[in-house]
Structure 1
Amino acid sequence: MTNTVGKAIRKWGWLFALPTFAAFCIGFIVPFIFGIYLSFMDFTTVTDATPVGLANYKEALSDPEFWRALGTTVLFTIVTTIIINVIGFAIAYMLTKAIKGSTLFRSVFFMPNLIGGIILGYVWQLLLNGVLSKWGASLTFSEKYGFWGLVILVSWQQIGYMMIIYIAGLQAVPSDIIEAAQVDGATGPQRLFQVILPMMMPTITVCTFLTVTNGFKLYDQNLALTNGAPSNKSELVALNIFRTFYGRVGYEGVGQAKAVVFFLIVAAVALIQNKLTTSKEVEV
């Protein structure tokens, strides 16, 4: 019976995968390839594109605002990756203990992830501006306020999501290994840093990858919270690309070139991060 089912899956499995594969090609592969093509064109619509060679890339790479936005994005990603993963793991570690009401706490911490980024941006804009107004300031008063406001917003939203993943990882750690370490006299911190964390590296790899990529591609919260103000100094790369593409007539090709460069940077960073964390994983 098992062999018959296996043969049927091998014979007809592609048929069931075909709709998903077709949707992936139509929704991602084709637009991606077409986007690379347009990055070498001067266009206002896709029907009037004319080749310009590497001119769009030269214009994109010589734009100081693009590099400033990239620097802000890198710093933002580093800060949020550390905060989200450290706090998310700490909460997960506490909630895997025998704490009364831990299920309720998990739901409460996870709920911010269910709210859309645009809505969160406007809500936190009201909250943070209400606090800053006591000192005669606002999120748009300085790029520092906008930056740290964005860090608070994104960390608050994503900590609960990473917490759920860390809880699953902690529950997958073999209890007999922890018990053996305890019998050998290992203290709580020793069990955490020398037993649990090494066993958690696959989960840490996933969470770090998600937070790094989310940090780099963040757009909606940035748009709603500060819209890049003041003077576009608090904008991240995704918002800079959008503003170039839609906010400057004749710069559509430059915006597309920025998007391609940004994709290459994010892909390289994600691959390096994944390689570094995967190399620290241990086998059970």
Structure 2
Amino acid sequence: MGSADAKTRKKRSLIWNYILFLGPTILLFTAIEIIPLLMGIGYSFTNWDGIANGAGFIGLKNYIKLFTNDERFWTSLIFTFKNTFVVVIASNLIGFTLAYGLSKKIPFRNFIRAAFYLPRLIGGVILGFVWQFIFLNIFPFLGDKLGWSVFQLAWLGTPGTAFWALAIVQAWGLAGYMMIIYVAGLTAISNDYLEAAIIDGATARQQLCHIILPLMMPSITECLFLSILNTLKVYDVNLALTGGGPYRSSEAVTMNVYTTAFAENQLGYGSAKAIIMAIIIIGVTLIQVAITSKKEVQV
């Protein structure tokens, strides 16, 4: 009996420990994530404007309208996918290059790492306003002094240049974050593999392609996931830098959802857009993780 009672008390103690440590987190997650998600799903089947006390149930009309009569949403979605493609590739290439270079023993290595990571510590709105000042004031000044055409472009004034301006700012902000994760992955690789490769006569390029990159796949999977997720959900940088302009040509899908729900007072319709976007984000990230996870090697 004593042994059984001791086991029972131990189980109860574990349960209370779970409640004590996980309970607040679960409650916050439920209040901040689960409940708003369920409410959004419910609102997506209504015509609620976000102001009136009542909301009329309209079934699938919001979704039908979205798929048949909302060119602006699909234009913003295409822009978001193009922007994501460019930013994910650029930020990961830059991040990995920085991590690979800064994994060597060079002077002021930690200071340089911190300097490249600094943009991640700046809020997206501040980041957007800082670069807006650079594009509108610093670049024209440099263009006048140096005569370089790249600085004389209307970076925020045309659809094409606004796209690249937004991509540059996002890649600049994400590259340092990706660098830190890649540095951790590079640090975890045992020197034994590289030493054996050197003894066998492998060049630096062969070491990178056949040893470092395969062993870095877990870090690559994580970095791709985070960069895709961050870029698909971009709003603050988009708002501060271009405001969706010119002529809504740089309007990301999150800004489209916000404008529909709160600026145009169509919260029910905006909720339907948000649900579709959430499904797209989940689908894209799951596919990416499934593909890259298969390339991870066991050591």
Give the TM-score normalised by the residue count of structure 1.
Answer: 0.94
Contact 1:129 1:137 in 2 (8 A): no
Count of aligned pairs between the two proteins:
281
Q: 1:145 aligned to 161, 174, 177, which one?
A: 161
CA distances 1:167-205 after superposition (whole Å, capped 9, x unpaired):
000000111111111111111000001000000000000
Measured in 1, the distance between the counterparts of 2:82 and 2:31 equals 34
Instruction: Tell me what 1:195 maps to.
Output: 211
Partner of 1:34: 39
State which of 68, 71, 93 in structure 2 corresponds to 1:64.
71
CA distance in 2, matches of 1:8, 1:185: 60
**Contact 2:135–2:156 (CA<8 Å) still a contact in 1?**
no
Conservation of the 8 A alpha-carbon contact between 1:132 and 1:139: no
* 1:57-206 mapped onto 2 (5 Å cutoff): 57-61=63-67, 62-130=69-137, 131=139, 138-206=154-222
Amino acid at match of 2:45: F
Deviations 1:19-56 (A, max 9, x none): 11111111110110110010001112374111011111
Q: Is the 8 A contact 1:146 1:234 kept in 2?
A: yes
Find the aligned partners of 2:126 and 2:49 in 1 and give their Cα distance.
31
CA contact under 8 A between 1:139 and 1:226: conserved in structure 2? no
Quick one: structure 1 residues 11 and 194, their matched pair in 2 at CA, closer, same or farther if it must change by over 3 Å?
same
RMSD: 2.0
Aligned letter for 1:54? L
Give the distance between the partners of 1:147 and 1:124, measured in 2 at CA.
14
Aligned amino acid, residue 276 of structure 1: I
Amino acid at match of 1:23: L
Q: Show the counterpart of 2:56.
A: 50
Q: In 2, distance between residues paired with 1:148 and 1:169?
A: 30
Aligned to 1:281: 296
Q: How does 1:209-220 map to 2 (within 5 A)?
A: 209-220=225-236
Contact 1:40-1:253 at 8 Å conserved across structures? yes
Note the residue ranges of structure 1 that are not aligned, 5 or more in a row: none
In structure 1, what residue type is equivalent to 2:102? L
Equivalent residue for 2:23, pick from 18, 23, 47: 18
Alignment check: 8 A CA contact 1:81 1:208 kept = yes
Q: What letter is aligned with 1:177?
A: Y
Paired residue type of 2:133: L
Match of 2:250 among 226, 234, 237: 234
- Give the alignment's TM-score, normalised by structure 2: 0.89
* Contact 2:46–2:55, Cα closer than 8 Å, also in 1: yes
Three-state SS of the structure 2 residue aligned to 1:53 is coil
Mind listing any 5+ residue stretches in structure 2 that lack a counterpart? 1-5, 144-148
Measure the CA separation in 1 of the matches of 2:264 and 2:17: 48
Q: Does 1:271 align with 2:281?
A: no
Deviation at 1:8, TM superposition (A): 7.4
Task: Quote the offset at 1:138 in angstroms.
Answer: 3.0
| Bigger radius of gyration among the two | 2
Give CA deviations for 1:46-103 in whole Å, capped at 9, x if unaligned: 7411101111112222211111111111011111110000110011011110111101
Question: Is residue 60–residue 255 contact of structure 1 (8 Å, CA) maintained in 2?
Answer: no
Aligned partner letter, 1:48: G
Q: 1:278 to 1:101 in 2, by over 3 A?
A: same
The 3-state SS of whatever aligns with 1:51 is coil
Per-residue CA deviation, residues 241-281 of structure 1 (Å, 9 max, x unaligned), is 111112213x2211111000000001000000000110100
